């Protein structure tokens, strides 16, 4: 009597230790997943900030180039005005106009030129101020960008996290491809079933509804007259449905017939002859109509 109790105690203790270690491993896995998710979020934020900084820096460099171009154009225009004044002075040299007329004309030109020079100087000063402002902002942005690059470089296991993310994305893509391929295979199988049943009898109605296909068979085709025994044609129809269910791991069939004996006859053929599990063959008693519905579901 002592030996069985000791054995039970040791066995139970082993289960407790195993359960405790399992819980520790589960918590450790959850912590690792949370750490990976947090690192991914921080990495995405850093990469987004880095891209935004790069774009803003490029925009400011472009604005600086535009302002520099405007300053050069204004300096060129100032040079043209000075050249025009020199040309006017040379043109009036040797003419017979009075000294007062020449002085008056030159004063008017000088006044207009001075006003234009004032405008250009003011614009140049404004451009210089804008350029200096952009230069300071560029320095600040470059410093922030360097700090951001440093933070990105210092993020632990960034490369391994990136590889893990790529692996997960690849798995998701493969799951999607497998799902699409399974959907195409299901649609092709539904089309084949519809063609097969139309060849058996034109009175068999088929209608695909999303991931399911409804097959309505008149009882006079499915069962012997006045009995619940399947005809050869009925066995052929049930056989095609059972074969289809066995081809898809997640498939199931729902039988709606008029009376339990008819349902039992169909279920027996599917589970015994075609070896379908009981869980894949569901049934619902109808209202005693003259047809049986076989709803083939392939999610």
pLDDT for the residue 48: 83
Residue 260 in tokens? 């339990």
**Of residues 97 and 110, more confidently modeled:** 110
List the one residue out of 113, 138, 115, 127 whose CA is nearest residue 73. 127
| pLDDT above 60 (res 8) | no
Average pLDDT over residues 278-286: 79
Are 34 and 40 a contacting pair, CB within 8 Å?
Answer: no
| pLDDT above 70 (res 167) | yes
* Residue that has been written with the tokens 């999303």 in this structure: 210
Strand partners, 122: none
How high is the mean pLDDT of the chain?
Answer: 79
Average pLDDT over residues 139-158: 72
Average pLDDT over residues 5-28: 62
**Integer Cα distance of 193 and 27 in angstroms:** 49
Interaxial angle between packed helices 232-247 and 158-200, expressed in degrees from 0 to 180 and rounded to the nearest 10: 170
| pLDDT above 50 (res 204) | yes
b/e for 273-284, b at 16 or more Cβ within 10 A? eeebeeebbebe
Average pLDDT over residues 295-299: 86
Question: Highest mean pLDDT: which of 39-43, 120-124, 178-182, 196-200?
Answer: 196-200
- DSSP-derived letter for residue 278 is G
b/e for 197-232, b at 16 or more Cβ within 10 A? beeeeeebbbeeeeebbebbbebebbbeeeebebbe
What is the extent of the structural domain holding 291? 184-297
| Domain-terminating residue out of 156, 176, 202 | 156
pLDDT band at 96 (very low <50, low <70, confident <90, very high): low
Q: Which pTM value belongs to this model?
A: 0.44
pLDDT for the residue 161: 67
Phi, psi of 226, rounded to the nearest 5 degrees: 75, 10
Q: Are residues 99 and 198 in the same domain?
A: no
**Of residues 242 and 100, more confidently modeled:** 242
Q: Are residues 145 and 190 in the same domain?
A: no
**Of residues 290 and 91, more confidently modeled:** 290
CATH number of the CATH domain containing 141? 1.10.287
Query: Is 213 inside a domain boundary?
Result: yes
Helix (H, G, I), strand (E, B) or coil at 98: coil
Query: Is 176 inside a domain boundary?
Result: no
Query: Is 177 inside a domain boundary?
Result: no
CATH number of the CATH domain containing 284? 3.30.1330.60
**Of residues 186 and 15, more confidently modeled:** 186
| pLDDT above 50 (res 7) | no
pLDDT band at 210 (very low <50, low <70, confident <90, very high): confident
**Integer Cα distance of 190 and 211 in angstroms:** 10
Q: Are residues 198 and 106 in the same domain?
A: no
pLDDT for the residue 115: 76
Task: Note the residue count of the chain.
Answer: 299
| pLDDT above 80 (res 249) | yes
Are 240 and 193 a contacting pair, CB within 8 Å?
Answer: yes
Query: Based on the structure, what is the number of domains in the chain?
Result: 2
């Amino acid at each position: 009597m002592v030996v069985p109790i000791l054995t039970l105690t040791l066995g139970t203790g082993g289960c407790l230790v195993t359960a405790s270690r399992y819980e520790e491993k589960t918590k450790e896995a959850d912590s690792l997943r949370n750490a990976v998710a947090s690192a991914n979020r921080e990495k995405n934020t850093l990469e987004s900030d880095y891209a935004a900084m790069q774009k803003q820096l490029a925009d400011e460099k472009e604005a600086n180039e535009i302002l520099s171009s405007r300053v050069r154009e204004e300096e060129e225009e100032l040079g043209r005005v000075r050249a025009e004044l020199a040309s006017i002075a040379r043109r009036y040299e040797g003419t017979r106009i009075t000294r007062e007329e020449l002085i008056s004309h030159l004063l008017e030109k000088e006044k207009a030129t001075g006003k234009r020079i004032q405008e250009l100087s003011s614009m140049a000063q404004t451009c210089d101020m804008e350029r200096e402002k952009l230069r300071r902002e560029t320095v600040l942005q470059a410093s922030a960008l360097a700090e951001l690059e440093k933070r990105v470089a210092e993020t632990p296991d960034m490369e391994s996290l990136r590889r893990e993310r790529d692996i997960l994305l690849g798995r998701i893509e493969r799951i999607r491809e497998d799902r699409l391929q399974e959907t195409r295979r299901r649609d092709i199988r539904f089309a084949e079933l519809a063609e097969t049943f139309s060849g058996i009898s034109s009175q068999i109605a088929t209608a695909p509804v999303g991931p399911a296909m409804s097959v309505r068979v008149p009882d006079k085709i499915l069962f012997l007259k006045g009995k619940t025994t399947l005809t050869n044609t009925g066995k052929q129809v049930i056989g095609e449905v059972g074969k289809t269910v066995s081809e898809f791991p997640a498939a199931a069939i729902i039988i709606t017939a008029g009376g339990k004996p008819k349902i039992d006859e169909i279920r027996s053929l599917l589970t015994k002859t075609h070896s379908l599990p009981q869980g894949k063959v569901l049934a619902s008693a109808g209202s005693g109509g003259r047809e049986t519905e076989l709803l083939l579901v392939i999610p």
